[in-house]
Structure 1
Amino acid sequence: MIRKLRDTDNEAVMMFLKEEPALNLFIIGDIEAFGYESDFQELWGFFHKGELSGVLLRFHNSFIPYAKNDRIPVKEFSDIILKYSGKIFLSGKSELVEKFEGIPGLDLGKKQVTYFAECSTDSFLEDTDLEILTAVPEDVDRIIELRGSIEEFFPNPNAREIFLQSLKSATGRTYYVEKDGKMAASASTAAENSKSAMIVGVCTHKDYRRKGLATAVMQKLFKDVMDEGKILCLFYDNPEAGRIYKRLGFVDIGMWTMFR
Structure 2
Amino acid sequence: MIKVLTQEDDRQCQQLIQKEPAENLFIIGDIEAFGYEQDFQKIWGDFDEDGNLRGVLLKYRENFIPYSPGEFDAEGFAAIINSCEDFSIMSGLKAVTSKVEPFLSREFQSKRQMYYAKLDNSESLSEGELHHVEKATIEALPKLVELLNSIPEFSGGSFTVEKRKHGMEKGVARSYYIERDGIFVSSASTTAENSSSAMIVAVCTHPDYKKKGYATECMTKLCRDVLQEGKELCLFYDNPEAGRIYKNIGFEDIGYWMMYKF
- TM bin (shorter chain): 0.7 to 0.9
- AA aligned to 1:15 is Q
- Match of residue 84 from structure 1: 86
Counterpart amino acid of 2:254? I
Distance change (3 Å), C-alpha of 1:75 and 1:229:
closer
Instruction: Write out the 4+ residue segments of structure 1 that deviate beyond 6 Å after TM superposition.
Output: 157-162
Residue type of the alignment partner of 1:231 = E
Aligned partner of 1:130 in structure 2 is 132
Is 1:36–1:43's contact at 8 Å kept on the other side of the alignment? yes
Compute the displacement of 1:152 (Å): 6.6
Structure 2: unaligned runs, 5 residues or longer: none
Name the SS of the counterpart of 1:69 in structure 2: coil
Partner of 2:254: 253
Whether the aligned pair in 2 keeps the contact of 1:18 and 1:24 (CA below 8 Å) is yes
Structure 1 unmatched runs, 5+ = none
1:46 corresponding residue in structure 2? 46
Residue type of the partner of 1:217? C
**Aligned CA-pair RMSD:** 3.4
More divergent stretch after superposition (225-234 vs 101-110)? 101-110
For this pair of structures, how many residues does the alignment match?
256
Match of 1:143 in 2: 145
By how many angstroms is 1:37 displaced?
Answer: 3.0
Which whole-Å deviations, capped at 9, do the CAs of 1:163-190 have from their partners, x for residues lacking one? 5553233122222334455443322223
TM-score (norm 2): 0.78
CA distance in 2, matches of 1:148, 1:257: 28
The more displaced of 2-11 and 107-116 is 107-116
TM-score, normalised to structure 1's length? 0.79
User: Is the CA contact (8 Å cut-off) linking 1:143 and 1:183 kept in structure 2?
Assistant: no
Paired with 2:161 and 2:185, the residues of 1 have a C-alpha distance of: 19
1:192 counterpart residue number:
193
Most deviating of 90-99 and 146-155: 146-155
Instruction: Supply the distance in 2 between the matched residues of 1:69 and 1:27 (Cα, whole angstroms).
Output: 17
Give the distance between the partners of 1:214 and 1:244, measured in 2 at CA. 9
Question: What is the DSSP-based 3-state SS (H/G/I as helix, E as strand, rest coil) of the residue aligned with 1:192?
Answer: coil
Cα distance in 2, alignment partners of residues 223 and 117 from structure 1: 14
Residue 211 of structure 1 is matched in structure 2 by: 212
Is the 2:45–2:53 Cα contact (8 Å) retained in structure 1? Answer: yes
In the alignment, is the contact (CA less than 8 A) between 1:140 and 1:163 conserved in 2?
A: no
2:13 equivalent to 1:10 = no
Deviations along 1:197-243, one digit per CA (max 9) or x if unpaired, are: 22222223334332322212111111111222222222333222222
Distance 2:110 2:101 in 1: 10
Between structure 1 and structure 2, the one with the greater Rg is: 2
Aligned to 2:173: 172
1:132 & 1:205 partners in 2: Cα distance? 16
